[in-house]
């Protein structure tokens, strides 16, 4: 029985900044951000869009009544959690209207946890082939103003429906993962902003990639010629290019040309959104499937997931015939093109806003600042108030 991705949706907030303008404001050569980092635009989340509302918006884009009846497991991966106890998955389960006999759980391991959720989903569906699982990767990447990480921020969510006999990508049970206790990127409980050892994080990412890829090759006896395309965790698009270069260093010209040929379509959405941590790999996959040419029937895609701290995983899937007709290309293009550009001053003000930390009630101005149908309306009696706009 094949298990994999039956549907994939995406949401990003309605406002963004232009990377050239950010560079000018920071006194940096614009080419550093657009070429050196590889980002054109960066999504910004107003207070009315948090990890829960963005995930719910991504889910609502793809779920129909049949899905809402068949889903009995909601797994939400995030490192932008909004409560130390209650999982964001419970809110999304409610906001998306999923039938009540379902498990709802949040998972954390930096940018990696949505991949763990997918593995759990595959196990669940192999035991219960008539059920579906909703996996969400949702995050707001925030390093703070005037930091090295500032040009690699972003915000958004990906929602994936996994099922038996999937229509988009059949996943293989071939994944190789590895864990190592390192401090390349983390966010202490007291901080709204991530802390990072930037250069070390880049190196750690590449070390994990080459290590799990080597082990994957040994275990599966596959090599690059078995892959039509590769997708990577994309904290910024230049990192995706570094990853591709690392894997193709000793590859044949033919393999290198084929894999490099898919690089641009696979980063098109990431370039316009920025880092969305847990969802970044899946945003790249979505970008490849929607913006790339139709992949040959049963073409194999290799996927590398990386979450600082750190866990890495290499796995693969085969595209299903006719997958293009199940993509939502026009909707995603219009989501991105209908966004409003913020001035750098507006962005700076939004980035520094946060909800009161002392339990005070707050009502948010969500009409003006949020196009998503699900919004955070405020906080009352220490309870977050989500609603459909």
Q: Is 233 a catalytic residue?
A: yes
> Per CB under 6 A, which region of 61-69, 197-205, 341-349, 353-361 contacts ligand CAA?
197-205
Q: Is 94 a catalytic residue?
A: no
User: What contacts 41, CB < 8 A, 6 or more positions away?
Assistant: 16, 17, 18, 19, 271, 272, 273, 274
* Binding-residue total with ligand CAA (CB under 6 A): 27
Spatial contact of 19 and 42, defined as CB atoms under 8 Å apart? yes
Does 32 bind ligand CAA (CB under 6 A)? Our answer is yes
Spatial contact of 227 and 314, defined as CB atoms under 8 Å apart? no
82: nearest Cα among 95, 70, 91, 72: 91
Spatial contact of 339 and 370, defined as CB atoms under 8 Å apart? no
CA 292/CA 271 separation, integer angstroms? 15
Spatial contact of 217 and 223, defined as CB atoms under 8 Å apart? yes
Q: Give the C-alpha distances (Å, rounded to integers) separating 389 from 296, 368, 374, 376, 385.
A: 41, 11, 6, 9, 12
Among 97, 129, 148, 293, binds ligand CAA (CB under 6 A): 148
> Per CB under 6 A, which region of 60-68, 157-165, 193-201, 210-218 contacts ligand CAA?
193-201
Does 201 bind ligand CAA (CB under 6 A)? Our answer is yes
Residue nearest to ligand CAA (CB): 36
Residues in 271-330 that interact with ligand CAA by CB under 6 A: 275, 277, 306, 308
- Tell me how far, at minimum, the Cβ of 202 lies from ligand CAA, in Å: 5
- Give the count of beta carbons closer than 10 Å to the beta carbon of residue 367: 10
Does 198 bind ligand CAA (CB under 6 A)? Our answer is yes
Does 152 bind ligand CAA (CB under 6 A)? Our answer is yes
- Tell me how far, at minimum, the Cβ of 79 lies from ligand CAA, in Å: 9
- Tell me how far, at minimum, the Cβ of 177 lies from ligand CAA, in Å: 15
Nearer to ligand CAA, 76 or 125 (CB): 76
- Give the count of beta carbons closer than 10 Å to the beta carbon of residue 248: 18
H runs (alpha helix) in 128-236 = 198-220
Single out the catalytic residue among 61, 79, 106, 290. 79
Single out the catalytic residue among 61, 93, 150, 233. 233
Does 185 bind ligand CAA (CB under 6 A)? Our answer is yes
Does 35 bind ligand CAA (CB under 6 A)? Our answer is yes
Single out the catalytic residue among 14, 61, 93, 111. 111
User: What contacts 90, CB < 8 A, 6 or more positions away?
Assistant: 74, 104
- Tell me how far, at minimum, the Cβ of 205 lies from ligand CAA, in Å: 4
Q: Is 111 a catalytic residue?
A: yes
* DSSP percent split of the chain into helix, strand, coil, nearest 5: 40, 25, 35
Nearer to ligand CAA, 178 or 331 (CB): 178
Q: Which residues lie near ligand CAA (CB under 6 A)?
A: 29, 31-32, 35-37, 111, 148-149, 151-152, 185, 196, 198-199, 201-202, 205, 233, 235-236, 238-239, 275, 277, 306, 308
């Amino acid at each position: 029985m094949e298990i994999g991705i039956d549907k994939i949706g995406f949401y990003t907030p309605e406002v963004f900044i232009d990377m050239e303008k950010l560079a000018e404001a920071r006194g940096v050569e614009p080419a550093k951000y657009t070429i050196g980092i590889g980002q054109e635009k960066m999504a910004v989340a107003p207070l009315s869009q948090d990890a829960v509302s963005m995930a719910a918006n991504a889910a609502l884009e793809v779920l129909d009544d049949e899905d809402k009846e068949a889903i009995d497991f909601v797994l939400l991966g995030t490192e932008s959690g909004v409560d130390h106890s209650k999982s964001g998955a419970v809110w999304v389960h409610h906001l998306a209207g999923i039938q009540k006999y379902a498990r709802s759980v949040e998972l954390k391991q930096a940018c990696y946890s949505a991949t763990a959720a997918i593995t759990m989903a595959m196990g669940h569906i192999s035991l219960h082939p008539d059920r579906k699982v909703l996996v969400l990767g949702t995050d707001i990447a925030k390093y703070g103003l005037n930091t090295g990480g500032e040009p690699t921020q972003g915000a958004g969510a990906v929602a994936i429906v996994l099922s038996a006999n999937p229509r988009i990508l059949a996943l293989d049970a071939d994944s190789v993962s590895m864990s190592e206790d390192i401090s390349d990127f983390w966010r202490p409980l007291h901080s709204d902003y991530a802390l990072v050892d930037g250069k070390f994080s880049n190196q750690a990412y590449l070390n994990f990639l080459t290590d799990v890829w080597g082990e994957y090759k040994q275990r599966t006896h596959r090599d690059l010629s078995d892959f039509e395309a590769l997708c990577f965790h994309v904290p910024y698009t230049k990192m995706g290019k570094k990853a591709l270069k690392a894997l193709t260093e000793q590859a044949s010209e033919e393999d290198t040309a084929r894999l490099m040929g898919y690089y641009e379509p696979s980063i098109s959405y990431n370039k316009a959104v920025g880092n969305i941590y847990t969802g970044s790999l899946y945003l790249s996959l979505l970008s490849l499937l929607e913006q790339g040419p139709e992949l040959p029937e049963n073409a194999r895609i290799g996927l590398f997931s990386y979450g600082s701290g750190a866990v890495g995983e290499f796995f693969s899937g085969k595209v299903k015939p006719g997958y293009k007709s199940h993509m939502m290309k026009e909707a995603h293009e219009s989501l991105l093109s209908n966004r409003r550009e913020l001035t750098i001053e507006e962005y700076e003000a939004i980035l520094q806003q946060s909800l009161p930390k002392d339990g005070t009630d707050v009502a948010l101005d969500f009409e003006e600042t949020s196009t998503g149908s699900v919004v955070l309306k405020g906080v009352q009696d220490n309870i977050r108030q989500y609603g459909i706009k």
